[in-house]
């Protein structure tokens, strides 16, 4: 067949959501909340739809949204971004594609940490790059100087990171970020940081962006997503922030990928980003309560659960739960026999290195979580 079918297989999220729709299973696979989303943000979008222009917004994004993103990161992460350093994209997905298209020259090596989000390696390869995968190991998933040094070469130009990390639900520790910053500066690398989960962190943690570390301000592309911040995954409003020299390159790719994104959604996101800190804290508390509900339910049913410090996900550890199946087999069986869809974590490893974990999404109503736990308890 065509090489694309090999190089770009159907994403696991779509595969499992199709199976969930076919079987009527409770879908704890693909990550999305089942609530309506914040009412004022939805209302702002409806208002802008009816009262503002629906023609092409400026290519770099609505000025009001670019200013809101820069201001938001000043308040929440102590960054000093200027609106000119922000480019609005159609989701983080476009920001990832645009950054790699803009910054990879054929033959460049790009470092990535596995487990990794499933679009990274296919995008790097289509841009002509070579993905150098550093495989981290459970349960700590810790980044070490040795692993970074062993994977780097004279051809390394970029490192692509995801912090907080999907699917491990880890927030990188300060020492790891400092290590990554030193490594990038020493080797003159650009860091593309996929920070879509920056607001969904638990247990009182304070989020630190790699961009804030010494030497990183000029060499970081910081990617964010309104889909995650406002629990509206279908909106596909994202952005990339970078110093002017980098932003100028990113804009060239963005102009030919999508050029722009829906103006009413941009207005609504601009308004939402200005909400008081308490609003974001409440959102975190709500998701943390859902995390605890799912974790406690699963543990009571005899499942061993990995810690989740961020994201909408936690993982079941199969061997530690006394289950002698690999993750793919377990996911196949629970979708058919228990009526629950999940994601096999091996899908996040280019070489399928880890097959012991199954990811479940907890951004769901209490009743949905309870019903899923009940089904998984009976499956045991």
The residues binding ligand PMP (CB under 6 A) are: 31, 91-93, 117, 162, 166, 194, 196, 225, 227, 233, 236, 238
Strands 26-27 and 340-341: parallel
Minimum Å distance from CB 78 to ligand GLN? 27
64, 65, 153, 68: which is closest to 108 by C-alpha? 153
Enumerate long-range contacts of 303-306, CB under 8 Å, 24 or more apart. Answer: 303/376, 303/380, 306/138, 306/139, 306/168, 306/169, 306/357
Closer to ligand PMP at the Cβ: 104 or 343? Answer: 343
From the list ligand GLN, ligand PMP, none, which binds 225 (C-beta under 5 to 8 Å, kind-based)?
A: ligand PMP
Minimum Å distance from CB 30 to ligand GLN? 5
Contact between residue 237 and residue 227 where contact means Cβ atoms under 8 Å apart: yes
Minimum Å distance from CB 226 to ligand PMP? 7
Minimum Å distance from CB 118 to ligand GLN? 8
Chain residue at closest Cβ approach to ligand PMP: 91
247, 219, 193: which is closest to 60 by C-alpha? 247
Cα separation, 282 vs 276, whole angstroms:
10
- Residue 254's CB: how many other CB atoms inside 10 A? 28
Closer to ligand PMP at the Cβ: 192 or 338? Answer: 192
Contact between residue 59 and residue 286 where contact means Cβ atoms under 8 Å apart: no
Minimum Å distance from CB 293 to ligand GLN? 19
Minimum Å distance from CB 171 to ligand PMP? 13
| Sign of the torsion formed by the C-alpha atoms of 317, 321, 327 and 328 | negative
Closer to ligand GLN at the Cβ: 67 or 237? Answer: 237
From the list ligand PMP, ligand GLN, none, which binds 238 (C-beta under 5 to 8 Å, kind-based)?
A: ligand PMP
State the Rg of the chain over Cα. 20
From the list ligand PMP, ligand GLN, none, which binds 219 (C-beta under 5 to 8 Å, kind-based)?
A: none
* Interface residue list for ligand GLN (CB under 6 A): 11, 13, 30-31, 166
Cα separation, 29 vs 14, whole angstroms:
9
Closer to ligand GLN at the Cβ: 181 or 305? Answer: 305
From the list ligand PMP, ligand GLN, none, which binds 91 (C-beta under 5 to 8 Å, kind-based)?
A: ligand PMP
Minimum Å distance from CB 312 to ligand PMP? 8
Is 146 exposed, middle or buried, given 0-12, 13-18 or 19+ CB atoms closer than 10 A? exposed
From the list ligand GLN, ligand PMP, none, which binds 30 (C-beta under 5 to 8 Å, kind-based)?
A: ligand GLN
Minimum Å distance from CB 54 to ligand GLN? 26
Closer to ligand GLN at the Cβ: 246 or 341? Answer: 341
Cis check: omega of the bond before 80, within 30 degrees of 0: no
Closer to ligand GLN at the Cβ: 11 or 77? Answer: 11
Contact between residue 107 and residue 130 where contact means Cβ atoms under 8 Å apart: yes
- Residue 186's CB: how many other CB atoms inside 10 A? 11
Query: Can you tell me whether residue 194 is helix, strand or coil?
Result: strand
Annotate 82-92 with b (16+ C-beta within 10 A) or e (fewer).
ebebbbbbbbb
Closer to ligand GLN at the Cβ: 13 or 379? Answer: 13
Closer to ligand PMP at the Cβ: 122 or 238? Answer: 238
From the list ligand GLN, ligand PMP, none, which binds 260 (C-beta under 5 to 8 Å, kind-based)?
A: none
From the list ligand PMP, ligand GLN, none, which binds 92 (C-beta under 5 to 8 Å, kind-based)?
A: ligand PMP
What contacts 150, CB < 8 A, 6 or more positions away?
Answer: none
Minimum Å distance from CB 68 to ligand PMP? 17
Closer to ligand GLN at the Cβ: 32 or 183? Answer: 32
Q: How far is CA 247 from the centre of its chain?
A: 21
From the list ligand PMP, ligand GLN, none, which binds 236 (C-beta under 5 to 8 Å, kind-based)?
A: ligand PMP
From the list ligand PMP, ligand GLN, none, which binds 327 (C-beta under 5 to 8 Å, kind-based)?
A: none
């Amino acid at each position: 067949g065509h090489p694309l079918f090999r190089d770009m297989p159907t994403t696991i999220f779509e595969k499992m959501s199709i199976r969930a729709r076919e079987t009527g299973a409770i879908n704890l696979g693909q990550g999305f909340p089942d609530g309506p989303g914040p009412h004022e943000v939805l209302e702002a979008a409806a208002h802008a739809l009816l009262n503002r222009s629906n023609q092409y917004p400026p290519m770099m994004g609505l000025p009001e949204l670019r200013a809101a993103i820069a201001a938001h990161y000043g308040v929440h992460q102590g960054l000093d971004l200027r609106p000119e350093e922000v480019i609005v994209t159609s989701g983080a997905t476009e920001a990832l594609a645009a950054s790699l298209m803009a910054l990879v020259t054929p033959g460049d090596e790009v470092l990535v940490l596995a487990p990794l989000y499933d679009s990274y390696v296919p995008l790097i390869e289509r841009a002509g790059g070579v993905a150098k995968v550093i495989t981290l190991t459970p349960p700590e998933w810790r980044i070490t100087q040795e692993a970074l040094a062993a994977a780097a070469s004279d051809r390394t130009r970029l490192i692509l990171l995801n912090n907080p990390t999907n699917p491990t639900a880890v927030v990188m520790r300060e020492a790891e970020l400092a290590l990554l910053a030193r490594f990038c500066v020493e080797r003159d690398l650009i860091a593309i940081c996929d920070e879509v989960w920056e607001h969904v962190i638990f247990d009182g943690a304070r989020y630190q962006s790699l961009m804030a570390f010494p030497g990183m301000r000029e060499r970081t592309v910081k990617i964010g997503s309104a889909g995650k911040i406002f629990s509206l995954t279908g909106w596909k409003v994202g952005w990339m922030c970078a110093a002017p020299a980098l932003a100028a390159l990113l804009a060239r790719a963005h102009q030919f990928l999508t050029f722009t994104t829906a103006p009413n959604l941009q207005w609504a996101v601009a308004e939402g980003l200005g909400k008081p800190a308490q609003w974001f804290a409440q959102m975190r508390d709500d998701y943390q309560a859902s995390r605890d509900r799912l974790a406690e339910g699963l543990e009571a049913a005899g499942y061993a659960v990995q810690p989740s410090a961020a994201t909408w996900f936690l993982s079941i550890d199969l061997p530690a739960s006394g289950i002698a199946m690999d993750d793919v087999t377990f996911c196949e069986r629970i979708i058919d026999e228990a009526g629950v869809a999940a994601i096999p974590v091996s899908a996040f490893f280019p070489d399928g290195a880890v097959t012991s974990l199954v990811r479940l999404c907890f951004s769901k109503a209490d009743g949905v979580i309870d019903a899923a736990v009940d089904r998984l308890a009976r499956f045991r």
